[in-house]
Amino acid sequence: MTIHYPNGHQYHPRPSRLRHTNQLDSISHADRGMSLEQAVNESNQYYRARNKAVIHKKPTPIQIVDVSYPKRSAAVIREAYFQAASTTDYNGIYRGHYIDFDAKETTNKTSFPLANFHAHQIQHLRDCFQLGGICFALISFKPSNELFLLNGPDLFSAWDLQSQGGRKSIPKKQITQKGYALPYRFNPVIPYLDAVDKIIAAHKGEKNEF
């Protein structure tokens, strides 16, 4: 099936790079045969099943322009277009707070390229944050099998610096210092709400309290 962006450019999905499960490493989403997206989705299902949070992956609306019917009982989509530029991957509610975030991976060992984000995604997160939402990015360093939650304000600062002639990436050391390390577990696979609890606690007592 051919899918196009709103500007007409063809969409080329990135191939999945999953590690073999027989590697002797710490427990991770890769060891369990799942991508980062699958690990986040499974974690969200775990949270929903226990009535802890309702967070879903946002569907991306597409416009179908070509369909064939090789069989009467089955239709095959041959060509489609994204109707609009996507914002972020996930949103929902936790402890009465609106949650909005994206999950990104990098093969870089020492930094996270800001090119992984689009300007409209950062603006969306910024808009939600300014209205009181809790916004962040889950950043995975694949070579070291490490995952961090970087809070919105820290992500925005790094993004703004690059437009002022600063770095076009966030050093891993900075993410380690300012972000929250998320060790992989059995259930939930990614316990990112533990870090969200810390973000909520850090804002208690401030003038614009969450």
What phi, psi does 64 have (nearest 5°)?
Answer: -85, 130
pLDDT in tens, 80-109: 554 556 679 899 999 999 999 999 999 999
pLDDT in tens, 157-184: 999 999 899 999 999 999 999 999 999 9
- Residue 144's nearest CA partner among 168, 175, 115 is 175
**Cis peptide before 188, with omega less than 30 degrees from 0?**
yes
CATH of domain 24-59+85-203: 3.40.1350.10
Q: Using a pLDDT cut of 70, give the percent of the chain over it.
A: 71
pTM as predicted: 0.74
| Binding residue ranges for Mg(2+) | 87, 89, 102, 121
| Binding residue ranges | 87, 89, 102, 121
Rounded CA separation 100/53 (Å): 13
